[in-house]
């Protein structure tokens, strides 16, 4: 039987509506509108789309969006100075610097200057450390979305074998930490992993965050497993057009898995919803108000 499709778009819409309600309640009680500053450097077309999508999601949720578009030649010191001003601005509760940053800007140096309390991407070492040690933290948005999608198939993840392919600081590692916190037995696979198909076949929950189109084949999947596909890869389509595919060969995987996320319409929309969720959480923390359990 074909796998159930986990509808990330519908789940994201539902979450965004709840965040908008909670943001409105926060504004009613405190008079403060949560605000997200989005910083884009250069003209990368994909980044421009992401930034527009995030800003629109923020405004749709009744929050304020402060957009800063800087030229590709902007010196690193100028970008860091802008981050400093945003850190000090009480109307800004979240700061998001869109990656990748054009060379020679050092992204790590820039991200490390963001106030950890406003770090809605969760990339600052303070937040990474807090997540790893089980303290409250702002957690990277894509992993947050992935866990929510997995829970749509299995509300209780405890005891499950989870395999995460990819060990980046923005997806693989924080996702593994979240799954550990859910009491999964977690394996992180990467480019040096031996016999990756066999490792994947152990997984009750398989997360692919690799950046290689349709690398994970149907035969790598344990029958009935839940598959969360993080990959976004643009490949040649019909009639000279391009199309998006994930890191999982969807048509094959769907015949074996129990539940699977599509690309597009899976992890992507949940990532955006979690950006505004983190903005709401950062605003609540800044105002000393308990964040709603959404
Ligand atoms: P990175 O390039 O930073 O990391 C890729 C990881 O995949 C690395 O750990 C690498 O291993 C591993 N890898 C590469 N080749 C193989 C292989 N042949 N076998 C096993 N592992 C391999 O990517 P990101 O984590 O930033 O992103 C991963 C994917 O997720 C991309 O397609 C990206 O576009 C997408 N993405 C989607 C988001 C969304 O909102 N849906 C958000 C963020 C990313 P090693 O460490 O050994 O090099």
Nearest CA to ligand 1 atom 35: 231
Q: Averaged over 236-253, what is the pLDDT?
A: 95
223 — pLDDT class (breaks 50, 70, 90): very high
Nearest CA to ligand 1 atom 1: 168
CA–CA separation, 33 vs 23, rounded Å? 7
Distances 36 to 137, 210, 269 between C-alpha atoms, Å: 17, 29, 18
Structure tokens at 219: 């035969």
Q: For the segment 168-204, what is each residue's pLDDT rounded down to a tens digit? A: 999 999 999 999 999 999 999 999 999 999 999 999 9
Structure tokens at 238: 């019909």
Handedness of CA 130, 135, 140, 144 (dihedral sign): positive
**pLDDT above 90 as % of the chain:** 100
The pick from 46, 166, 187 for probing ligand 1's pocket by mutation, whose C-beta has the most ligand atoms within 8 angstroms, reads 166
Q: For the segment 50-106, what is each residue's pLDDT rounded down to a tens digit? A: 999 999 999 999 999 999 999 999 999 999 999 999 999 999 999 999 999 999 999
Q: What is the pLDDT of residue 263?
A: 98
- Closest by alpha carbon to 202, among 212, 188, 183? 188
Query: Using omega within 30 degrees of 0 as the cis cutoff, is the peptide bond preceding 264 cis?
Result: yes
Range 255-286 burial, b when 16+ CB lie within 10 A, else e: ebbbbbbbbebbbbbbbbbbbbbbbbbbbbbb
Residues in the chain: 294
pLDDT over 90 (residue 1): no
For ligand 1, the distance from its centroid to the CA atom of residue 18, given in whole angstroms, is 30
pLDDT over 90 (residue 292): yes
Q: Is the CB of 74 under 6 A from ligand 1?
A: no
Query: For residue 173, how many C-alpha atoms fall within 13 Å in the half-sphere facing its CB?
Result: 12
The catalytic residue positions are 54, 98, 121
Beta bridge partners of 84: none
Beta bridge partners of 39: 68, 97
CA–CA separation, 177 vs 172, rounded Å? 9
CA–CA separation, 193 vs 64, rounded Å? 44
CA–CA separation, 6 vs 277, rounded Å? 20
Backbone angles phi, psi at 137, to 5 degrees: -150, 160
**pLDDT above 70 as % of the chain:** 100
Q: For the segment 117-159, what is each residue's pLDDT rounded down to a tens digit? A: 999 999 999 999 999 999 999 999 999 999 999 999 999 999 9
Residue with tokens 């923005």: 170
In order of their start, the domains of the chain are: 30-117 (3.40.50.10860), 141-268 (3.40.50.720)
Q: Which atom of ligand 1 lies closest to the CA of 165?
A: 21
Q: Is the CB of 170 under 6 A from ligand 1?
A: yes
- Closest by alpha carbon to 100, among 139, 53, 45? 45
The pick from 211, 216, 266, 267 for probing ligand 1's pocket by mutation, whose C-beta has the most ligand atoms within 8 angstroms, reads 211
């Amino acid at each position: 039987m074909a796998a159930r499709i986990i509808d990330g778009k519908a789940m994201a819409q539902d979450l965004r509506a709840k965040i908008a309600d909670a943001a409105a309640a926060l504004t009613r009680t405190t008079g403060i509108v949560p605000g997200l500053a989005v910083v884009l450097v250069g003209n990368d077309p994909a980044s421009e789309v992401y930034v527009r999508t995030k800003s629109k999601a923020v405004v749709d949720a009744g929050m304020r969006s402060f957009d800063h578009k800087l030229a590709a030649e902007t010196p690193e010191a100028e970008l860091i100075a802008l981050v400093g001003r945003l850190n000090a601005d009480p109307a800004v509760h979240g700061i998001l610097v869109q990656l990748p940053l054009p060379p020679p800007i050092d992204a790590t140096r820039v991200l490390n200057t963001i106030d950890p309390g406003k770090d809605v991407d969760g990339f600052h070492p303070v937040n990474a450390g807090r997540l790893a040690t089980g303290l409250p933290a702002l957690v990277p948005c894509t992993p947050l979305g992935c866990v929510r999608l997995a829970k749509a198939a299995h509300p209780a993840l405890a005891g499950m074998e989870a395999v995460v392919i990819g060990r980046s600081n923005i997806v693989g590692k924080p996702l593994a930490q979240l799954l550990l916190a859910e009491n999964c037995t977690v394996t992180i696979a990467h480019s040096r992993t031996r016999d990756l198909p066999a490792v994947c076949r152990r997984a009750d929950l398989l997360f692919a965050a690799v950046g290689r189109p349709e690398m994970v084949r149907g035969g790598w999947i344990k029958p009935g497993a839940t598959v969360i596909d993080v990959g976004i890869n643009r490949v040649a389509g019909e009639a000279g057009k391009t199309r998006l595919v994930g890191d999982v060969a969807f048509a094959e995987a769907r015949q074996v898995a129990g539940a699977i996320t599509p690309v597009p319409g899976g992890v992507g929309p949940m990532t955006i919803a979690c950006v505004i969720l983190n903005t709401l959480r950062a605003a609540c923390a800044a105002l000393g108000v308990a964040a709603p359990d959404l």
